[in-house]
Structure 1
Amino acid sequence: MSIRLRLTLWYTAILSATLLLLGVGLYFFLYYYYFNSLKPDLQRTADVLRTRIQYDGYSFQLNVRDQLRYNNLYFQVVSLEDGGKTLSPSLAETGLELPDLKVTKIRCIVNNECRFDKIQMNNVHFLMYSTPVTVSGLALPGEPVIGIMQAIYEIDDIERLLAMLRLILTVTGLLSILLAASVGWFLARKALRPIEQVIMAANRIERGVDLDKRIEYFGPSDEIGELTQTINGMLERLQTAYSEMEEAYGAQRRFVSDASHELRTPLTTIRGNVDLLEKMWKNVQQGALAPGEVQLEMTLEAMHDISGEAERMSRLVNDLLSLARADAGFQMAKTEIQLLPLLEEVARKAQLLPRTVEFRTGPFEGIGEACIQGNADYIRQLLFIFIENAFKYTDGGFALLDASLDGDQVGIRIEDSGIGMDKEEVPHIFERFYRADPSRGKKAGTGLGLSIAKWIIDEHGGSVEVRTRKNEGTAFTIWLPVLPCKDVAASGGTQGHSLPEGNQV
């Protein structure tokens, strides 16, 4: 049974019980009001008439004037000796016959236990009052009873009124219940409409589609409104989580595919060279090939290839390990680092790297004794990643390493005059295995260096700015927060910085 139907039934049942109580209460109130006010009048009138009844020892005599005075009253006197009845002229004219008195009824009347009765004669309703008659007409205690006086009063008007009242109450109650049930069903449906929308939204969630839709609710801020807002908030969080999960899953698939490809290439080279060496060795053992300088050169070349590919795989595995640590939330150990000696050391070692460009270093004295809170090894790795990229993608021209202070940040700039990039490629260059330009694929590399660099920058609370133009070169500026070397604990958070025509990443 649905909630809507249960609410309607409860509402209808409560209303029905309320109307029933009100109707029954009103009916019995009017019933007792009319009859309780009629009975004393009928009793008082009958008692007055009873005192005027005359008995001559054989029969009862009624005063005619009294009969005319009480023309709305019909009465008769029944003798207990012979059962004879003395009727009032008004009763005789109607032709009505009151029911005969039984012994038990007479005894009850004499004992004053049953005075009033409702009777029906010729489809007319009457209220009858019965009282014992004595010789004195006063019905004193201990006085012999010689007859029973019965007075009746027509109550058809009251009965019709009560019957009409019963009909009105019944019809009104049924119509009210039917109307209330219909209105209750409509209101319950309207009130529970958001819940149906919640169910539909949950079904969409179960199917994994349409997470961008929200439940529309235009009602008051009641419990249903709060529930709708809560569900919408949950849907928004689910949509965000689902989108992030899809992106992460896609990135993971691309990562696995790219990593497999990068690992497969050196493995193929190693396997080919190993097969070549095995073949040469078998030929030597079988005497089909005599050792010589050519074979020695081929062997050395194959070993060099194996060594180079093994080194390449080692670098790739180390890069993957670094990224795996980053994904696992690895927290690198940080200490106070004086930046000037570190930059001078990196510049000196960079001079020894293989390159085809002029390597320039700016004056580092401008940064003074600036310090950063970080890890020296990772800072060196970060700088070498950008410097090696500048050497790799620049044929001729120059590469520059420079540094300067700007407020509470230090900017380390690595610039080259190489192949550059399109601006549309800049947001993707820090993605894993991303190679911005087909020509870059001709250069050795895994496409993981800038991803590692971005992780190191983030771990140090810094940011990186990229300025590039196709075929004109690229400039990376690494911004790191600085602090006084003597007050490491006062180091603040990250503060963004941007240069004109640059892209902050």
Structure 2
Amino acid sequence: MTLRLRLLLAFGFLSVITAVAVAGAGYVRARDAIVQRAQDNAVVEITNRVEQLYPLPARPLSAAALERIAGRVSGRTDGVVAYGNGLSAGGMDTSVITPELRGLVSSGRVGWQRVQYSDSVWLVVGMQLRLNSGEPSGVEVYVLRPFTSETAFVGELAQNAWLIGGAGLVLALGLGFLAARGVLRPVRELQLAAWQLGQGDLTARVPVRGRDELASVATTFNSTASSLEHHVGELRRMEADARRFVADVSHELRTPLAAMTAVTDVLDAETASLPGVAGQAARLVNRETLNLTRLVNDLIEVTRFDSGTAALALDDVDVAEVVLSCLRMRGFSAEVTASLPEGVRARLDPRRLDVIVANLVGNALRHGSAPVSVALSVDGAFLVIEVADSGPGLSPEVLPHVFARFYKADSARGRSEGSGLGLAIAWENARLHGGTLVAANRAGGGAVFTLRLPLDGEV
């Protein structure tokens, strides 16, 4: 449920409760006052009519006398009945006289009661006539008069109460909508600015209006965004400096490394004629010089990816030939089982595919166990190459970081001789092609790396 809907429901609920409380209380009080006044007026009117009958004769009244009493008490719309000496007179329906009202009148008091009669509300008023001496005459008079006008007025009052309540509800919903709009506008602006900030727009800010809590939140957000922009700018500057430093150092090392490689190649050719310790030292220097050369070349390649200067040299190639050439050039053919169907052609950069395959197979041979397999297939519009080993596989702690730069899972998979950049470079080359490189564990044991590249070379 949205915040706007919750606010509207809250305003609506509050307005309904308020309207019911105010209009209901006013309706009840007005209804009671109207009914009470109507009853009082009716009782006073009928009492005045009865007082015109005095003085009453002391002798027992006859049926004719009761008829005269009923006629003099009745009005144009009233029904009257008079009881006395076991006789009754008048045209009133006596079924409307309840036992409670009859008992009250018999005790000598004036009584009245609202009753349902002829599909409407009527008022029955009863009293006992007394002699001049104040003693009961034995005559009871009951008058039935309509309560229709008062009922209609009370109904109209209730209808007005409902209309006022409904109008109040509509007004409250309108005010709630305006209030929700006013409250939610800063929230929407804050949401938009947070989204822009999450998308990398560090200049996103929220307009500050007023001095309320939302303004305080907007001010805090702007302050946080400004601080974040400053820190991110510093981090980016430091990162750019670090990349530039790595690139400069790598390029500066290439010249002396070329000279060192030439010297170590000469030493390596003469190691057989050198005495024991000197030959071992020459071989060690040659091996470490080659490792340093690979590290410098890898660093230069990484700086190209970071600077965005890495580009594809696409060509229509036979994928099986590229993979077989990679395995032969690096001496992997005897250690790797290859399943490479002929006729699979793709538009890609053969040099970068060579780098990917070399890094994946070299990683499998160093860290996994034989046999290592390379399988080529086509899945729809994608070229798929799987490199699998039969080693212990990748631990759950290693899997999330396997393509991270300089990451070495030495404790999990033995001593690593690489730079820690091979898999990262392979992943970057796959991404540059618009493909993916995924690491996982096989069900039967061992790690498997799956490379997917588009066949048509479109990124």
Q: Scaled by the length of structure 2, what TM-score is found?
A: 0.50
Aligned to 2:162: 170
Alignment partners' CA distance in 2, 1:213 and 1:256: 33
Aligned to 1:431: none
SS at match of 1:274: helix
Kept after mapping to 2: 8 A contact 1:204/1:210: yes
The 1:252/1:222 distance shift into structure 2, 3 A limit, reads: same
Per-residue deviation, 1:171: 2.0
Deviations 1:458-501 (A, max 9, x none): xxxxxxxxxxxxxxxxxxxxxxxxxxxxxxxxxxxxxxxxxxxx
- Out of 198, 220, 233, the position equivalent to 2:223 is 233
Alignment partners' CA distance in 2, 1:261 and 1:196: 50
Deviations 1:140-191 (A, max 9, x none): 6xx5x73432234443332222211111111221232133223312320232
The 1:264/1:113 distance shift into structure 2, 3 A limit, reads: farther
User: Which structure has the greater CA radius of gyration?
Assistant: 1
Alignment partners' CA distance in 1, 2:94 and 2:228: 88
Alignment partners' CA distance in 2, 1:162 and 1:222: 47
The 1:137/1:166 distance shift into structure 2, 3 A limit, reads: farther
Kept after mapping to 2: 8 A contact 1:49/1:66: no
Kept after mapping to 1: 8 A contact 2:110/2:127: no
Alignment partners' CA distance in 2, 1:282 and 1:100: 136
Aligned to 1:315: none
Aligned to 1:247: 237
Alignment partners' CA distance in 1, 2:109 and 2:257: 120
Alignment of 1:89-488 (within 5 A): 97=93, 99-103=95-99, 105-111=101-107, 115-122=111-118, 125-134=121-130, 138=134, 143=136, 146-206=138-198, 208-216=199-207, 219-279=209-269
The 1:137/1:193 distance shift into structure 2, 3 A limit, reads: farther
Aligned to 1:32: 32
Alignment partners' CA distance in 2, 1:112 and 1:23: 40
Per-residue deviation, 1:27: 1.2
Aligned to 1:5: 5
The 1:164/1:173 distance shift into structure 2, 3 A limit, reads: same
Letter in 1 for 2:89: K
Per-residue deviation, 1:230: 1.8
Count, aligned residues = 271
Alignment partners' CA distance in 2, 1:282 and 1:198: 74
The 1:282/1:186 distance shift into structure 2, 3 A limit, reads: same
Alignment partners' CA distance in 2, 1:114 and 1:14: 46
Letter in 2 for 1:246: R
Alignment partners' CA distance in 2, 1:228 and 1:135: 89
Letter in 2 for 1:42: A
Alignment partners' CA distance in 1, 2:231 and 2:49: 99
Alignment partners' CA distance in 2, 1:57 and 1:112: 18
Letter in 1 for 2:201: D
Per-residue deviation, 1:63: 6.7
SS at match of 1:210: coil
RMSD: 3.6
Alignment partners' CA distance in 1, 2:232 and 2:154: 71
Aligned to 1:432: none
Q: Scaled by the length of structure 1, what TM-score is found?
A: 0.46
Alignment of 1:484-495 (within 5 A): none
Alignment partners' CA distance in 2, 1:83 and 1:146: 11
Kept after mapping to 2: 8 A contact 1:132/1:147: yes
Letter in 2 for 1:167: Q
Alignment partners' CA distance in 1, 2:196 and 2:235: 18
Letter in 1 for 2:232: Y
The 1:278/1:36 distance shift into structure 2, 3 A limit, reads: closer
Kept after mapping to 1: 8 A contact 2:84/2:140: yes
The 1:32/1:72 distance shift into structure 2, 3 A limit, reads: farther
Kept after mapping to 2: 8 A contact 1:72/1:153: no
Letter in 2 for 1:26: G
Kept after mapping to 2: 8 A contact 1:125/1:154: yes
The 1:260/1:161 distance shift into structure 2, 3 A limit, reads: same
Kept after mapping to 1: 8 A contact 2:129/2:141: yes
Kept after mapping to 1: 8 A contact 2:122/2:145: yes
Alignment partners' CA distance in 2, 1:66 and 1:114: 20
